[in-house]
Amino acid sequence: MRTILATVIACLLLPSVSVTAESANKQQGVSVSDSEQKNPQTAKNDSSNNSEESLDFSDTGRPGQQTAGESRGNCANFAQIEALLPVSKSGTTVQGHPSFWVYFSDAIPQASQVEFIIQNEAREDVWRVRSQLDTQPGYKKFTLPETEAPLEIDQWYRWYVKVYCDSQVASVQYVQGWVKRIFLTSQLDLELKQSSHNPHIIYGNHSIWYDAIDELLNSYQSNPTDLALEKDWQNLVGAKGVSLQLLPSIGDSYKADNP
């Protein structure tokens, strides 16, 4: 008799337990059928598709003042200079000692000097050096030396390239921008290690401007006639948030300097 009674009670309780479990799953946002049908390969494909999205440098994440701006002084008959930057005049890097590129459109007077400056947000100098400027036009790179302390992660810095036409400090043209060093994630590190070619594409897909443009221009200098690099250049300077399409590629500059 006790056995029959226990069986009846168990049958009555089963629907209640099932409903309670189903209700708990709904509250947690879990669907049993969805979990069972989830295909790991589909998730992998989704991740791969995300890495192929169009390049976008429109959002730097810089709060407050979005841009350091770009200014030109009163150097008479001096070539136009342009910093290779997104429209926001700011970007990120994973390098402790990053590089910055500036384009000089024409020959530079013999007496000219260039000053490269990096400052923290309190406008304190991190690096400042002034030297004679190469008189040839084209793309020129300015790098924080390895002998100096690296940029701190998650900190914004302002950088300048100033050109002095003569000994007068007032006779100067300059460009400026912002840079923030970000943490090198394990995902990005893995992608860079798995692909020894074209790291500029990987940096570009992660919207890391300074490293993407530096890697591309370094490759371009070694292979100025590489059509694949020419295509990558067009994609980068024409990306969302970038407006540098009017600048010549290094390939074109190379041809002009070497007829």
Q: Output the pLDDT for position 147.
A: 97
Domain assignment present for residue 1? The answer is no
Domain that holds residue 250: 70-257
Residue 52 lies in a domain: no
Distinct helix (H) and strand (E) counts, the chain: 8, 9
pLDDT at residue 242 in the model: 96
Give the C-alpha separation, 259 to 257, whole Å. 6
Segment 87-108, tens digit of pLDDT: 999 999 999 999 999 998 876 7
Which residues does 158 contact at the CB level (< 8 Å), separation at least 6?
68, 118, 119, 120, 121, 123, 176, 177, 178
| Eight-state DSSP code of residue 227 | H
Check residue 168 and give its pLDDT.
55
Q: How far apart are CA 231 and CA 76, in angstroms?
A: 36
Domain annotation covers residue 36: no
pLDDT tens across 25-35, in order? Answer: 444 333 333 33
Number of domains in the chain: 1
- Alpha-carbon gap, residue 133 to 163, rounded angstroms: 8
The answer as to whether 16 is a domain residue is no
Which pLDDT value is given to residue 183? 97
What distance in Å separates the CA atoms of residue 233 and residue 223, rounded to the nearest whole number?
12
Q: Indicate the pLDDT class of residue 43, thresholds 50, 70 and 90.
A: very low
117-166: per-residue pLDDT in tens? 999 999 999 999 999 887 788 899 999 999 999 999 999 999 999 888 76
Q: Specify the pLDDT at position 111.
A: 64
Q: What is the pTM of this model?
A: 0.74
182-196 confidence digits (pLDDT tens) = 999 999 999 999 987
Q: Decide if 40 is inside a domain.
A: no
Residue 185: CATH number of its domain: 2.60.40.1220
Average pLDDT, the chain: 76
In a domain, 141, yes or no: yes
Between 259 and 251, name the one with better pLDDT.
251
The CA distances from residue 176 to 6, 89, 100, 169, 189, in Å, are 82, 8, 10, 17, 29
